Amino acid sequence: MAFDIEMIKAVYAKFPERIEAARKAVGKPLTLTEKILYAHLSQGEASEAFERGASYVDFQPDRVAMQDATAQMALLQFMQAGRDQVAVPSTVHCDHLIQAEVGATADLDKAKDKNREVYDFLSSVSNKYGLGFWKPGAGIIHQVVLENYAFPGGMMIGTDSHTPNAGGLGMVAIGVGGADACDVMAGLPWELKFPKLIGVKLTGKLSGWASAKDVILKVAGILTVKGGTGAVVEYFGEGARNLSATGKGTICNMGAEIGATTSIFGYDEKSEAYLRGTDRADVADLANGVKEHLTGDDEVYNNPEQYFDQVIEINLSELEPHINGPFTPDLAWPISKFAEAVKKHDWPAKLEVGLIGSCTNSSYEDISRAASLAQQAVDKNLKAKSEYTITPGSEQVRFTVERDGFLDTFGSMGGVVLANACGPCIGQWARHGAEKKEKNSIITSFNRNFAKRADGNPNTHSFVASPEIVTAMAIAGDLTFNPLTDTLTNENGEQVKLDEPTGLELPTKGFAVEDAGYQAPAEEGSSVNVIVDPQSERLQLLEPFQPWEGTDLNGLKLLIKAKGKCTTDHISMAGPWLRFRGHLDNISNNMLIGAVNAYNEETNSVKNQLTGEYGEVPAVQRHYKQHNIGSIVVGDENYGEGSSREHAAMEPRFLGVRAILVKSFARIHETNLKKQGMLALTFANPADYDLIQEDDNIDIVGLESFAPGKSLTVVLNHADGSKNEIEVLHTYNQGQIGWFKAGSALNLIKEKNK
Ligand code: F3S
């Protein structure tokens, strides 16, 4: 396997000096996050303290991981960077393109056939440029990374927003766009605004129905979808040490739902057990040698208020299971209050489907605990009232839980095992009847529950809970059921109660797998050919974007003023569009089709200022492009939250949108826009959003003296001849202004590699 023990040795060798230098520079004890970040500075040892939430800092990540939907564009970009091999160990994981329909084997065969062109492309590029390639069916990126590559104290970036999953094993793991992955694979430093730090002190110990998932469901309720923006969430305390490594992974994974840059736990006995359990005793031995650097300093954890920007405390002994949703992961309900909420809000109480697994919750522990409930259903003569699916996170987990009989147990309860892939979690779900758009409820152990995400039906009320709660609910078929207190009527008409779930953190017989689905790269890749058919509708080689013309941008048409939530799913929808992730022109036909137009409250219907008619957003924009007219998109708060996909930035850039002006941005999306040479601007006064009118022609003034920290002016030329001049802000530093001027970050890389 492409596991690089020498790389880890080299990383740990730098720790003592670099951390000591950081302690001196900062002048106080350090959190774990600070230790890892300062140990990965691309400049080497720290000579100054960075300001949290303000300083832009260059880092040298140890690894890159990419999933197949995002890898296509990242690698198409990397191919333009002019290198023979990737600069750091990197992997590709084929997990997003497999549609769930009937069950694992048939769905996987169908996907291999349907996506052959893409898999062949990814496999050959990986082979040529030295990347590890995980074939379709091998598993979901974050689970495979946790099992094989994550290591305490490491730093990695991944082209998927749930990359922080590896924080469960003490790694600073951050979700980025393909353009960032391309930079790091090309050997360039990776820039990040030095994060703020949120400390979560865990006390006590989980028991009964409560699980690690409930920790993050509760944290999401406290911090909301924006509360972690620009921050790393560091968990510590005796409660943290009581959680399994995979449970920690679940918590870190879902930190993405509060907008956190990443989340992390320190190295402890549970991490060591997991490393040894996954055949990495050598890594555990190395980690034990630098143990004191793989956790925050004692003083920090003893007096957290002095060292973190915000501190939250949760007592695991008192934690109730939670159910979050619908439509947003931060609407948190303790289970004792959930039935009342269902009734009060008139959410459909009948549960149609319960789905467990995904990258978030498919550890051995999760599956074994859920299976203990499935076994009870069988033993107590209960028939599951809802459909029930199981998505294993990796072939290693699937093989092991099959060996240990859990898959059979689920089968006896009527469960269907899906492929080791994202499937319903990313909208790859051929759900029967979804097209009727009926109001209905589902519950998953996934991480996201935005409208339409799982099945494309805007009326599907999707709730998120632990695999245990999902399983109990699927047995009951009723969202008002509380498994902690309520009984169910079995097939004999008797009242029975489910006992608390039980399970094992790690398999007693160890993990096993026959074929993990890994392909190592060629030793020497120069003779490997990468073929992209010019006629392909799924892959398209890239053309560089045009550099800035050197003047202010005048006469931009307002393309859309988006109202309310505008996530990357609204900007570049997933589901059926995933097939075009490697073809910029074709995927651009989904640009902003999910955003709500503030003037008519409709989606995908905006006024074409040249014709006065309403049309679909991409069509109207293509019309402007034909006429060589630039445009601007206006948005609300936290614009671009959700996934890391750079398509959401590349599509508007490709179609000729010049600027995105919003009340506030989600971090990854803002960076992605900058990388693509787009202007990402925010209102100095958010109320100015209301001044934008539908027929506005807009000028952006001040670009000739575009400089860090200096605001720009936007002139709104209204149709009635009146004007407003407003101040807009940006967060570009000097380097990023260079990207804007060159037309994209990649244009600059190419220059440097020449
Ligand atoms: Fe895949 Fe869902 Fe995770 S899409 S990577 S399983 S969040």
Arithmetic mean of pLDDT, 151-177:
96
Residue 150 has pLDDT above 90, yes or no: yes
* Model pLDDT, residue 574: 83
Per-residue pLDDT reduced to its tens digit, 403-449? 999 999 999 999 999 999 999 999 889 998 899 999 999 999 999 99
- Whole-number pLDDT of residue 353: 97
Q: CA torsion, points 258, 238, 172, 176, in degrees to nearest 10?
A: -20
CA-closest residue to ligand 1 atom 4: 426
pLDDT score of 1 more than 80: no
Ligand 1 and 422: CB distance under 6 A: yes
What is the Å distance from ligand 1's center to 641 Cα? Answer: 16
Render pLDDT for 695-749 as a digit per residue (tens, 0 to 9).
999 999 999 999 999 999 999 999 999 999 999 999 999 999 999 999 998 888 8
Cα(426) to centroid of ligand 1, in Å? 6
The lowest-confidence range among 5-19, 76-90, 188-202, 588-602 is: 76-90
- Per-residue pLDDT at 263 exceeds 80: yes
Q: What is the pLDDT of residue 424?
A: 94
- The predicted complex's ipTM stands at 0.98
Question: Out of 448, 653, 669, 730, which one is annotated catalytic?
Answer: 448
Q: How far is the CA of 402 from the centre of ligand 1 (A)?
A: 22
Ligand 1 pocket mutation pick from 165, 446, 450, 567 by most atoms within 8 angstroms of CB: 446
Predicted pLDDT at 513:
98
Ligand 1 in reach of 160 Cβ (< 6 A)? yes
CA-nearest residue for atom 5, ligand 1, is 359
Do the beta carbons of residue 106 and residue 130 sit within 8 Å?
no
578 lines ligand 1 (CB under 6 A): no
Strand partners, 229: 260
Active-site position among 643, 653, 658, 669: 643
Q: How far is the CA of 427 from the centre of ligand 1 (A)?
A: 10
State the closest ligand 1 atom to the C-alpha of 426, by its place in the atom list counted from 1. 4
Look at residue 560 and tell me whether its pLDDT is greater than 60: yes
Catalytic residue among 18, 293, 461, 645: 645
CB 169 within 8 A of CB 269: no
Q: Kindly give, in sequence order, each residue whose CB lies less than 8 Å from that of residue 113, ignoring residues fewer than 6 positions away.
A: none
Nearest to 35 by CA among 158, 161, 198, 155: 155
425 C-alpha vs ligand 1 centroid, how far in Å?
A: 6
Ligand 1 pocket, mutate which of 162, 449, 567 (most atoms under 8 A from CB): 162
CB distance 162 to ligand 1 below 6 Å: yes
Biggest CA-to-CA distance, the chain:
79
How far from 612 is each of 2, 52, 223, 501, 715, CA to CA, in Å?
A: 57, 48, 43, 61, 22
- Of ligand 1's atoms, which has the minimum distance to the CA of residue 141? 5
| Residues carrying CATH 3.30.499.10, the chain | 5-42+58-317, 320-496
Question: How many angstroms is it from 443 CA to the middle of ligand 1?
Answer: 15
Substitution candidate for ligand 1 out of 213, 425, 464 with most atoms within 8 A of CB: 425
Look up 47 and say whether it is catalytic: no
**Ligand 1 atom closest to Cα of residue 425:** 2
Ligand 1 centroid–CA 559 distance in Å is: 31
Give the relative orientation of helices 281-289 and 5-26 as an angle to the nearest 10 degrees.
20
Q: How far is the CA of 166 from the centre of ligand 1 (A)?
A: 14
The strand pair at 488-489 and 416-417 is best described as unpaired
3-state SS class at 492: coil
Q: CA 589 to CA 582: how far, in whole Å?
A: 13
Is pLDDT at 580 greater than 80 in this prediction?
A: yes
| Ligand 1 atom 2 nearest Cα | 425
pLDDT at 551 over 70: yes
Q: What CATH number labels 553-753?
A: 3.20.19.10
- Residues 6 or more apart in contact with residue 107 via CB below 8 angstroms: 98, 99, 100, 101, 418, 419, 423
The answer to whether residue 95 is catalytic is: yes
If one residue of 92, 160, 216, 363 were mutated to test the ligand 1 pocket, choosing by the most ligand atoms within 8 A of its CB, it would be 160
C-beta neighbour count of 729 within 10 angstroms = 13
Burial grade of 294 (CB within 10 A; 0-12, 13-18, 19 or more): buried
What's the CATH number of domain 320-496, 3.40.50.720, 1.20.1250.20, 3.30.499.10, 3.40.50.460? 3.30.499.10
Locate the ligand 1 atom nearest the alpha carbon of residue 393 and give its number.
6
Q: What is the 3-state secondary structure (H, E, C) of 497-531?
A: CCCCCCCCCCCCCCCCCCCCCEECCCCCCCCCCCC
Report the CATH number of the 5-42+58-317 domain.
3.30.499.10
What is the 8-class DSSP label of residue 227? T
End-to-end Cα separation, the chain, in angstroms: 33
Q: For the segment 657-672, what is each residue's pLDDT rounded down to a tens digit?
A: 999 999 999 988 999 9
- Mean pLDDT along residues 471-482: 98
User: Over 80: is that where the pLDDT of 248 sits?
Assistant: yes
Q: Is 144 in the pocket of ligand 1 (CB under 6 A)?
A: no
Strand partners, 725: 715
Residue 579 binned pLDDT confidence (cut-offs 50, 70, 90): confident
Are residues 503 and 244 in contact, defined by beta-carbon separation less than 8 angstroms?
no
The pLDDT of residue 500 is above 70: yes
- Residue 749's pLDDT is 82
Exposure string (b/e) for 692-724, b if CB count within 10 Å is 16 or more?
A: bbbebbbbbeebeebeeeeebebbbbeeeeeee
Task: Say how far apart CA 669 and CA 179 lie, in whole Å.
Answer: 11
Residue 719's contacts (CB-CB under 8 Å, 6 or more residues apart) are 693, 695, 696
CA nearest ligand 1 atom 1, residue: 422
Rounded Cα distance, 109 and 120, in Å: 15
Does residue 753 have a pLDDT over 80?
no
- Residue to mutate (ligand 1; options 426, 449, 452; most atoms within 8 A of CB): 426
pLDDT beyond 70 at 95:
yes
pLDDT at 646 over 90: no
For ligand 1, atom 3, name the residue with the nearest CA. 359
Contact 68 CB / ligand 1 (< 6 Å)? no
Determine which one of 96, 369, 538, 581 is catalytic.
Answer: 96
Which atom of ligand 1 lies closest to the CA of 358? 6
39 lines ligand 1 (CB under 6 A): no
Statement: residue 177 has pLDDT above 90? no
% pLDDT > 90, the chain: 91
Catalytic-labelled residue, pool 160, 180, 366, 688? 160
pLDDT of amino acid 531: 78
Q: Model confidence at 391, in pLDDT bands (50, 70, 90)? A: very high
Bridge partners of 191?
A: 58
Ligand 1 contact via 140 beta carbon (within 6 Å): yes
Nearest to 425 by CA among 355, 472, 330: 355
pLDDT at 568: 94
> Is 96 a known active-site residue?
yes
User: 358 C-alpha to center of ligand 1: Å?
Assistant: 6
| Omega prior to 326 cis, within 30 of 0 | yes
- State the pLDDT at residue 522: 95
pLDDT for position 3: 54
Contact call for residues 699 and 717 (beta carbons, < 8 A) = yes
CA angle 713, 718, 722 (to 5 degrees): 90
Helix (H), strand (E) at residue 599: none
* Mutation to probe ligand 1, out of 422, 455, 567 (largest number of atoms < 8 A from CB): 422
**Does residue 359 line the site of ligand 1, with CB under 6 A?**
yes
Q: How far is CA 732 from CA 27, 48, 514, 649, 729, in A?
A: 29, 21, 49, 16, 9
Q: In Å, how far are 152, 217, 226, 390, 746 from 248, measured between CA atoms? A: 13, 13, 21, 21, 36
Give 2's pLDDT tier (boundaries 50, 70, 90).
Answer: very low
Active-site option among 62, 95, 214, 404: 95
